[in-house]
């Protein structure tokens, strides 16, 4: 009996027990679909986190003030105020790996225009902030070095601020005067809507010259953060080393002494978060893969039942000349067909489940061809592995004993 004849007989046997075959495939269907959906969701989460971190700025390095230590209690980064505008000058001259430097002083304030008012975040910075944070404008201009030097009372508004003040994000505000904590500022620009990035929405923010914010709104010259953009992604570590050396010199920090500042590297943050999400993706895929194993055990159980039910059929076929290999091949093909067909249906359901989960979670999902091939290949392998034992049991039957079976 040739191979194709074995396939025909196997398919006929499966067709004769449609419900049992469908229930047997169910474990494989659920297993493959779960693996593909979980991996798709995990990949989507990784892409989303990567996008958010990259959205914080181009080749970004964030320098924060140091940590306080009082009574054995260590405060968080920024609990000391050790950064000043002098440090900004030192960093700008640190080396060729540094492309742009933007000091940041932030506060929350009440903003009023006419009868509209809102409370929002005020960021004091300089012109390099636009380069580092990839800020684009729908109208007007961004702050300039001249604005910083002259402590100009000018402001760039986010679209959410305009909506909260005017009731319409498209309202014309260029040239109008707003009051921030009763200090008048002229609106010179409106940023393009970008949505929430990280812990703060750039749309619900007002940007003003740092000198003006420090003098008029905060009342102190220290900085909480300094943002630095490296010349390229390849020199981020070089830029970090140059910044650290410049601040050591500026703050007169001796070798072996603790730093009174913290430098966070965007690349390190991205690598850490990507590693975490990839680990979680593998964990989710592994948990879902357990159902594939359960499905394989189900196939083996059903095939053992099938061998028992068809004992007389096996005896007759052997009596008329069928070899043990023919019997083994038939039952093995039945097991593989069940697993492969279940795997195929699982792939379709996995794609659908991943899309539905992405819609429900309001995030994009990404299904790699590798995960599909691995899940499908695993399902086919399970069919072979768990089908071998029942198939060998059938092939090893003595035809006389099989014919006597009732």
The whole-angstrom separation of Cα 230 and Cα 172 is 36
> pLDDT tens-digit profile of 276-297?
777 777 777 777 677 777 777 7
CB 94 within 8 A of CB 246: yes
pLDDT tens string for the chain (406 positions)? 566 666 777 677 777 777 877 887 887 888 888 888 877 887 777 777 666 655 555 588 889 886 544 444 344 444 466 788 999 999 988 888 888 999 999 999 999 998 899 999 999 999 999 988 889 999 999 999 999 999 999 999 999 999 999 988 888 999 999 999 999 999 999 999 886 554 567 889 999 999 999 999 998 888 888 999 888 878 888 888 888 888 888 888 887 788 888 888 866 666 666 677 777 777 777 776 777 777 777 777 777 777 777 777 777 777 777 777 777 777 788 778 888 888 888 888 888 888 887 777 777 777 777 778 877 787 778 777 777 777 777 777 776 666 665 5
The answer to whether residues 65 and 260 touch, using CB atoms and an 8 Å cutoff, is: yes
Let me know if 3 is exposed, middle or buried by CB neighbors in 10 A (0-12, 13-18, 19+): exposed
Residue range 376-403, pLDDT digits in tens: 787 778 777 777 777 777 777 776 666 6
In this prediction, residue 181 carries a pLDDT of 93
Q: How far apart are CA 43 and CA 357, in angstroms?
A: 13
């Amino acid at each position: 009996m040739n191979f194709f004849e074995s396939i025909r007989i196997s398919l006929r046997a499966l067709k004769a027990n449609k419900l049992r075959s469908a229930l047997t495939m169910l474990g494989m269907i659920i297993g493959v679909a779960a693996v593909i959906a979980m991996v798709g969701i995990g990949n989507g989460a990784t892409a989303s986190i990567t996008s958010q971190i990259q959205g914080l700025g181009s080749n970004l390095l964030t320098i924060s003030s140091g940590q306080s230590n009082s009574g054995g209690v260590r405060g968080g980064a920024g609990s000391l105020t050790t950064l000043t505008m002098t440090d900004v000058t030192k960093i700008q001259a640190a080396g060729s790996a540094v492309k742009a430097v933007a000091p940041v002083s932030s506060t929350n304030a009440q903003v009023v225009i006419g009868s509209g008012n809102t409370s929002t975040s005020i960021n004091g910075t300089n012109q390099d902030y636009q380069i580092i944070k990839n800020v684009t404008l729908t109208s007007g201009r961004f702050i300039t070095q001249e604005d910083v030097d002259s402590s100009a009372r000018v402001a760039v508004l986010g679209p959410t601020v305009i909506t909260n003040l005017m009731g319409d994000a498209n309202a014309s505000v260029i040239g109008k005067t707003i009051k921030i904590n009763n200090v008048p500022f002229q609106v010179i620009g409106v940023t393009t809507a970008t949505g929430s990035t990280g812990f703060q929405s750039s749309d619900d923010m007002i940007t003003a010259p740092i000198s003006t914010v420090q003098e008029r709104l905060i009342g102190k010259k220290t900085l909480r953060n300094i943002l630095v953009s490296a010349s390229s992604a390849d020199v981020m570590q070089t830029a970090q080393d140059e910044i650290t050396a410049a601040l050591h010199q500026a703050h007169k920090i001796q070798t072996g002494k603790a730093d009174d500042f913290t430098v966070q590297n965007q690349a390190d943050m991205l690598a850490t978060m990507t590693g975490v999400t990839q680990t979680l993706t593998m964990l989710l895929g592994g948990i879902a893969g357990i159902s594939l194993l359960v499905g394989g055990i189900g196939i083996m159980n059903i095939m053992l039942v099938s061998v028992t039910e068809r004992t007389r059929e096996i005896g007759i076929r052997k009596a008329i000349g069928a070899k043990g290999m023919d019997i083994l091949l038939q039952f093995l093909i039945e097991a593989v067909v069940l697993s492969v067909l279940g795997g195929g249906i699982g792939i379709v359901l996995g794609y659908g489940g991943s899309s539905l989960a992405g819609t429900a979670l309001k995030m994009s999902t990404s299904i790699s061809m590798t995960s599909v091939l691995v899940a499908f290949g695993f399902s086919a392998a399970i069919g072979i592995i768990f089908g071998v034992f029942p198939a060998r049991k059938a092939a090893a039957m003595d035809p006389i004993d099989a014919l006597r079976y009732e």
